[in-house]
A and B are shown apart, each in its own frame.
Chain A
Amino acid sequence: MIILLILLNLILILFFPFIMLGIIKKTKAFWGGRKGVVLLQPLYDFVRLLKKQPVVSSTTSFVFKLAPVIALATSITAGLFVPTVMGFSIINIDFAFIVFAYILGLGKFFAVISAMDTGSSFEGMGASREACFTSLIEPAFFIIMASIGAVAGFYTFQSLNVFLYNADILGFCIIVLAVVALMIMLLTETSRVPVDDPATHLELTMIHEVMILDNSGCDLAFLSWASAIKMVLISSIIANLVIPYNLPLGISIALYILLLMFIAFIIGTIESAIARFRMSHVFEFVFAMSAVALVILSLITIRIYGG
């Protein structure tokens, strides 16, 4: 059973990212009135990139070659801490979310310095924005995890599920707010609209996409896979908030996959419906997560200590 769950987790973490990307593409095509590419097109793109020979800038050093490897390794390692189906995570330690955040931080560190390694002004711009925007995400994430953990009495991702078991009106509010906050985190960390637009190739408006301008071949494949894995991870954290653990395995898997597909659909819809924000407004969007986190903190204080 455990081996089965481990395998299931690995498959979901490693390969579901491609399906999520495919659904986003399909959704955008749907709203645009097009037929769109096949669902597994991101996977085909990935395989095609793997076969290509990378072009490396003469300005770069070993950092540039190391960064995609570290980005992928950190994303996969972070995935081991996140519970997917029935609250099962491959590594289950206390305070997993701290390790999760800091491991992803390592990947981000290398992504940023590899962009700076090329000496390109465009990539410098992307690196600067990525480092700045995402630095505002983590404190809010910690507030949410810590205050929810305090209710449960233990600090893992599984503590998110505690609200569902004793859901009253306040608990329900907290769940909704936490989902909103985590959605903002998802859009920012994986650089989707309205923070960033992965579809355009106009360098001045981009964040994450412009950081990987010089990566090609397997390096590019690794980087985009790592970013897509992050999308599944944060979606899985949301899944912990809304899917109860005590359902049968089949239903759990089905619900989980449906939820992730739904999140992908929402991301696609957002990308079709609104344009990306102006840079100065991105800060407001990112700060919104901190604001929501503070509301969650005050609601939970009320819940624990009474009005």
Chain B
Amino acid sequence: MEIFFIGILLFVLSGVFSLFCRENIKLKMITVLSFFASIFVIIPAFKTLLLGLPEGLICNWNGVFGEVPFVIDILSAFFIIIISFVSFLGVLYSNGYMKPYEGKSKKFASHCFFLPMLTASMLLVTVVQNALFFLVVWELMSLSSFFLVIFEDDKKEVLSAGIKYLIYMHISVVFIIALMALMSVKAGSYDFETFKTIFIEKPYLKDIIFFLAFLGFGTKAGFVPMHNWLPDAHPVAPSHVSAIMSAVMIKTGLYGILRVLLIIDKPTALIAFFMLCVSVLTALYGIVYAVTQKDIKKILAYSSVENIGIAGIGIGVGMIGMFYNNSVVTLLGFSGAIFHILNHSIFKSLLFMGAGSVYLKTHTKNIEKLGGLIKSMPKTAVFFLIACLSICALPPFNGFIGEFLIYLGLFGSLKMDTSGLFILIILSAAGLALVGTLALLCFTKIFSITFLGLPRHECSQKVDADVSKTMLIPMGCLALLTLLIGISAPIVFVPVSCSVADFVGVQYFYTDFVAILSVLVKLFLCFGLFILIFVIVYVVRMLICRKSIVYNTWGCGYDKGNNHIQYTASSYIGPFSSIMTPLFKKIFDVKKPKGLFPKDAHYNSSIEDVEEAYLINPIVKFDEKFLSKFERLQDGNIQHYILYGLIFLILALVGVVFLG
């Protein structure tokens, strides 16, 4: 455990040291220190995960926090591994990505300071078992990510997206404070361990606690309807920051929900079904909007919402399993969720890094302007393709395994009693299938419009070379991992399932574990067979036709086909958006050509989030209107401010005297 703190200290020190370094070695120094720091934090995590023994340390901060226990249990060990791994690759990637900004941006120093701070605070979130200190590190995490998001704060949309993120996080933290306060008051202590006792006498508290946790942690994770910060904050943040945020930081929200579930123990039916329903809705909502967007990072942000939904379905299934005391379903649900969290952290960071490489080379995030990049950036294209295949949950890549386990959990829970549950579960499975096929629609779009065909605009035409090695290496590592985890799923399942053993209960764990493992081994053999068939077909094809003639694309009698007649992203999703019209708020920006010799004309259509347009914006508007009535109070006159203070003190005094 001490070695873990050395790691954390190294992260913090690398941030502090970076303030005193020259600009061109800042990131290099952080990378080297982060590497060692990651090793230091991963060692105890692995030890815990393999031995199954939690490790802990109690720090005594007299007066302020009291006794603060830091515990690496198997759940947090799992999160520590993915957080430190993905963050390190993100930092490595930033060496290449931030090169153009070196010496040019005033924010560079603060960026370098907060980058390791974010990692350190995320790691601390997973080990702190004290309510008060948890809130401190949670806030530290939100703030450091906020400063990372507003890197290019001279642009207006960056700042407004950053502020939006900050506001969302602070609304969410209100619920987390309420949650922690409620549990602390009932238990009479800040220690998470003591919280478990409060439900023995008052089981109705379970619902309240869970809904507070869902509102608080769910906002961080991006559950609908609190997801709105994601599609704004991710596109404006530097790509490695989006990668770290989307791949691991939003998972701390899920970690929070899982931690609260561990405290609650057996959930009530209400919260189990609620979790399943809201997750299915989140997944569908996320993917429907991901399909329709044009900004490459906005697509990925909405797809993060979708994937959080999928992991949430897993958690929901696990909760249903716990409610009905069905240990197999519990294990399948939670391990499916954890497996999906692992997978998503790998392929989503890869996708964001790929998007960042594209942005660095073309300076645009609008996929309508891209195209043909597979010729100029072949390695990035291959890595991106692998990530796309994996996120669509296509076998034999890793994305499939997590969803497969969740399907197994869903179908496993069909054997339980009521008809309402039966219909709900089958519709959830169908929802998950729909999410999968829409993901296919979304990621064929993003890959083919960005990398295939001909360049649609000069910004993608003039790209001459692939990105530097420091950016390709992390992407290559992640791409390799997606395939490796997919193929070696039975091996990876061991630590994944161990990390949720606490939910299942040790006495049932081993029999269920073996049963699921045998299914995965069979799946592994199927994948092997598929790869064998693929190789055979490939060899046969190579033998049959060795040569081919190269000629233009057939233009259906039209001779000079060029890049402008290609299908665009909007036309690609045309049939889909036509049937989904009621779900969207379409915004048109049209200037028609006029006169005999028309000069300029344009047509632009975009799709806005209905939830934001019809739910969030009216609230904000009302808020503005209401609060503007109090504007007069702030008149800049210092005497008045002192008067307000005095009035408040008198009111407080009166309150204490009469009510206290």
A residues near B (Cβ < 8 Å) are 50, 53-61, 63, 68-70, 72-74, 76-77, 80, 91, 93-95, 98-99, 101-103, 105-106, 108-109, 112-113, 116-125, 127-129, 131-143, 146-147, 149-150, 153, 155, 203, 213-214, 217-218, 222, 279, 283, 293, 297-298, 301, 304-305
Contacts and interface: CB of A to CB of B under 8 A. Distances in A.
Nearest to A142: B433
Contact of A132 (B411, B550, B555, B575): B575
- What are the 3 A-B residue pairs with the smallest beta carbon separation, nearest first? A124-B567, A116-B448, A119-B453
A149 B381 CA distance: 41
A74 B530 CA distance: 7
Given A57-B551, A301-B423, A138 B566 contact: no
Given A53-B545, A131-B444, A147-B426, A80 B529 contact: yes
5 contacts: A69-B534, A109-B394, A124-B567, A132-B441, A222-B541
Given A101-B433, A127-B444, A57 B533 contact: no
A95 B453 contact: no
Nearest to B422: A301
Given A58-B550, A94-B519, 8 more contacts: A54-B545, A56-B550, A58-B551, A58-B552, A95-B408, A102-B436, A131-B444, A139-B437
B554 interface: yes
A150 B422 CA distance: 9
A122 B438 CA distance: 22
B374 to A, nearest CB: 5
A118 B410 CA distance: 40
A136 B435 CA distance: 10
Nearest to A101: B433
A146 B579 CA distance: 26
Contact of A122 (B407, B534, B556): B556
B579 A53 contact: no
A237 to B, nearest CB: 16
Contacts of A217: 545, 548
A142 B440 contact: no
Nearest to A76: B533
B414 A301 contact: no
Contacts of B554: 57, 120, 213-214
A113 B432 CA distance: 23
Contacts of B392: 105, 109
B404 A98 contact: yes
Contact of B537 (A69, A91, A146): A69
Contact of A91 (B526, B553, B571): B526
Contact of B433 (A57, A119, A120, A139): A139
B573 A128 contact: yes
B407 A129 contact: no
Nearest to B425: A146
Given A113-B452, A128-B572, A146-B429, A103 B553 contact: no
Interface in B379-436: 381, 385, 388-389, 392-395, 400, 404, 407-408, 410-411, 414-415, 418-419, 422-423, 426-427, 429-434, 436
A305 B31 CA distance: 60
B561 interface: yes
Contact of A140 (B430, B453, B571): B430
A301 B419 contact: yes
B544 interface: yes
A146 B388 CA distance: 27
Contact of B452 (A98, A116, A218): A116
B522 interface: yes
B442 to A, nearest CB: 9
Given A103-B395, A146-B429, A76 B576 contact: no
B213 to A, nearest CB: 31
A279 B452 contact: no
A217 B550 CA distance: 13
B550 A113 contact: no
Contacts of A91: 526, 529
A108 B440 contact: yes
B130 to A, nearest CB: 43
B320 to A, nearest CB: 15
A128 B567 contact: yes
B567 A53 contact: no
Given A61-B452, A119-B453, A138-B437, A297 B549 contact: no
Interface in B10-48: none
B275 interface: no
Given A116-B453, A116-B567, A128 B575 contact: yes
B648 interface: no
A95 B571 contact: no
Task: Give the one of B374, B395, B407, B537 with max A CB within 10 A.
Answer: B537
A70 B423 contact: no
A86 to B, nearest CB: 22
Contact of B454 (A50, A59, A140, A213): A59
